[in-house]
Structure 1
């Protein structure tokens, strides 16, 4: 199985320091939906691992979060693709869970769900916590320059981190890599 794991806010959709609290605020980053659909059509399983502490903070409900994910699935399906497992951490930063990135719990659950070892699986994020979670889970850390990506680039990145302009560029690389095998 070819598995790629994506962070959500700042990678797939626009991010906000004030949180994405409504379906209307959930706006895809240009090219992201197409990138997911292309990966899916190319035989990749695309999973999502996202921190959603806005749930713990009461900024939005589980139903609103589910509506955002249904919109994501519908937009990708319109382009002939599929989104696999979407897992979220509903906890606040001080709750001590094992699923909130930079901890690797969400990534490990995705690997277990698919029965895939995570060694070398690309985890695409825009924040340092994403990169740290990737390393902790044995994934290949991949940073995109969307969302918090430009801020993340202001400090040294973990060794071996791959950097791309956006999710479309990540998809281009993964799909091209398959053609050269």
Structure 2
């Protein structure tokens, strides 16, 4: 099993060749970039909290407090599901369309309904907090003129401090949109 994260040359950051994917891989939803360190660190802390909740639930259950154990188990399941959903947030592409996953909702737009995909300079939120700064965002406009909420910015949890990664991911999504529209 290849482990590209152990490669000394950063094998996971290399550009993909222009060879067409087999039919089965074109219909698979793939994220054209890897999750950023802020998103992964937040999910790791959430999973650590879930482990503590599970351990506390086990201790409470052994002490015959079943209602407390059930509450801890329920809270830990909620934290685990939230951490996994947090890791899925972002843009996903396939041969069928463009998918924008947010924390509580997902929007899928088939390629024939995508009007344009472009990057634009605009005020963007830093780590999805209320503070805004001037930055770049990937803007997806449907064929009917409706814009999707800019989810991929150079200041979000995937690309904060990784400007080159944002440029590569935006170029990959724009290129895929131009190819499949």
After TM superposition, the score normalised by the length of structure 2 is 0.27
More helix, by proportion: 2
Structure in which a larger fraction of residues adopt strand: 2
Greater Rg by CA: 2
TM-score by length of 1: 0.27
Larger RCO: Structure 1 or Structure 2 (Cα < 8 Å, ≥ 6 residues apart)?
1
